[in-house]
Amino acid sequence: MRGMSEDLLGRPVRPAALALADGTIYRGRAFGAETIQSGEVVFNTSMMGYQEIATDPSYAGQIVAMTYTQIGNVGVNSMDDESRKPFLSGFVIKELFDIPSNYRAEGTIDALLRQSNVPGISGIDTRALVRRIREGGAQVGVLSTDPDLQDGDELVSRAQNAPGLENHDWVARVTCDAAYEVSDGAWPGIQGQLPRPGRPENKLKIVAYDFGVKRNILRLLVEQGFDVTVVPATMPAAETLALEPDGIFLSNGPGDPAAVEGVQSIVRELVQTKPVFGICLGHQILALALGGTTHKLKFGHHGGNQPGKDLATGKVAICAENHGYAVDAESLRAAGEPVRITHINLNDDTVEGLAHETRPIFSVQYHPEASPGPHDASYFFGRFREMIERVANGENVTGAEISQVGL
């Protein structure tokens, strides 16, 4: 039977349950779609930008728990979507505000998740959930907002038999179906309240591989004066080179980098002739193409407060990150490629940036576009522009030089 209580406004309250593979069960109130979904349960420490997080394709295959307690108070709007729809498997929060109060609001997070068949659960002890993940590591969970399936034993059994991120190509689920052009730049603000420098007049053409690219990354590439063509993740190198781009961009994306079908050989061919810049999953795939390996992190880096240190300058940037895998530094050294580590995460010393010593190639693990913030690392887009310009002018510039390694 579907016995439902009502909230203080007389609206029906649906039950929801989140079951982890280790047998832990959390019960709360349902929002979003009425369905059952499985995914790797992770937590995000950002205090703002829940819409950008929910629509980040890098979360495909994951159930995301927010550590900030109040979610939904500013609603959602079409301009802040980072992809065509939410690709995450579920959303976990402490307290849902479903009557937004913001002049930009066009709807609610509840409605956005309903439209995309994504379940949500509110009213649980998110501190206890985060503590369990931190201590035991990320694990698969099942989130049910179906009132007819709330049995804990059944949900735990489903979680124990559901696939995780490993060895699954999640990029295939989020990449675009066909190539397209991008012309929209960064949001101009309300009546020009966010003045920005003019875009360079000298247009440069780049091809952006869509492994799950965020829209704000594409906007900031446009702001750098690039003509941007976005292509599917498996676009053959020959077809990309036939477009005669000045450079190649490898985007962020979800899941296990080693499981993305056919991409390593494509990137291996592209780096022979073109300047290349990779972000997040693109950084990891670039490392794999250069002979390195990756490994899974205990609970990943998800949030807008990760410390990334530039080894060339000693400066530390507060970075937005969203990844569950990291590049193995020793594997790059063993591969024999002249690649330097340019940045590290100060929380665990994992690799956060790479630069090639003989080719115009560099990459970063975090998201320098940082929508909605912080913006400490946005300078990487300018570095990419400078590298391509110098190559176009006939200079023998390298990724290491652009990254100021050793200065």
Q: Has residue 2 got a pLDDT over 60? A: no
Q: Has residue 1 got a pLDDT over 50? A: no
**Structure-block tokens of residue 3:** 């016995």
367 assigned to active site: yes
Please check whether residues 157 and 178 belong to one and the same domain. no
| pTM for this entry | 0.94
Candidate list 343, 367, 389, 401, residue with the active-site label = 367
Final residue of a domain: which of 98, 126, 161? Answer: 161
Least confident interval from 71-80, 151-160, 197-206, 268-277: 197-206
- CATH number of the CATH domain containing 307: 3.40.50.880
Please check whether residues 175 and 112 belong to one and the same domain. no
User: Range of 398's domain?
Assistant: 171-402
Quote the CA–CA distance of 32 and 169 in Å, as a whole number: 26
Q: Has residue 3 got a pLDDT over 60? A: no
Please check whether residues 203 and 329 belong to one and the same domain. yes
CA atoms within 13 A on the CB side of 167: 1
Residue type, 270: L
Please check whether residues 65 and 205 belong to one and the same domain. no
The confidence score (pLDDT) of residue 12 equals 81
- CATH number of the CATH domain containing 50: 3.50.30.20
280 assigned to active site: yes
Higher-confidence residue: 329 or 244? Answer: 244
**Residue 166 counted as domain residue:** no
Please check whether residues 93 and 115 belong to one and the same domain. yes
Q: How does residue 355 score in pLDDT terms, banded at 50, 70 and 90?
A: very high
Please check whether residues 225 and 323 belong to one and the same domain. yes
Quote the CA–CA distance of 260 and 252 in Å, as a whole number: 12
The confidence score (pLDDT) of residue 190 equals 62
Q: What's the Cα-to-Cα distance from 129 to each of 41, 58, 134, 301, rounded to whole Å?
A: 9, 21, 9, 16
Please check whether residues 184 and 228 belong to one and the same domain. yes
Candidate list 280, 283, 302, 321, residue with the active-site label = 280
Please check whether residues 134 and 213 belong to one and the same domain. no
The confidence score (pLDDT) of residue 350 equals 97
Q: Has residue 177 got a pLDDT over 70? A: yes
168 assigned to active site: no
Please check whether residues 101 and 200 belong to one and the same domain. no
Candidate list 321, 337, 352, 369, residue with the active-site label = 369
The confidence score (pLDDT) of residue 185 equals 84
**Residue 110 counted as domain residue:** yes
Question: 329-332 — which CB contacts under 8 Å span 24+ positions?
Answer: 331/287, 331/291, 331/292, 331/293, 332/287, 332/290, 332/291, 332/292
**Residue 340 counted as domain residue:** yes
Split into its structural domains, the chain has a count of 2
Q: Has residue 345 got a pLDDT over 60? A: yes
Please check whether residues 128 and 223 belong to one and the same domain. no
Torsion of the alpha carbons at 332, 333, 338 and 340, rounded to the nearest 10: 80
Final residue of a domain: which of 132, 161, 190? Answer: 161
Final residue of a domain: which of 161, 196, 215? Answer: 161
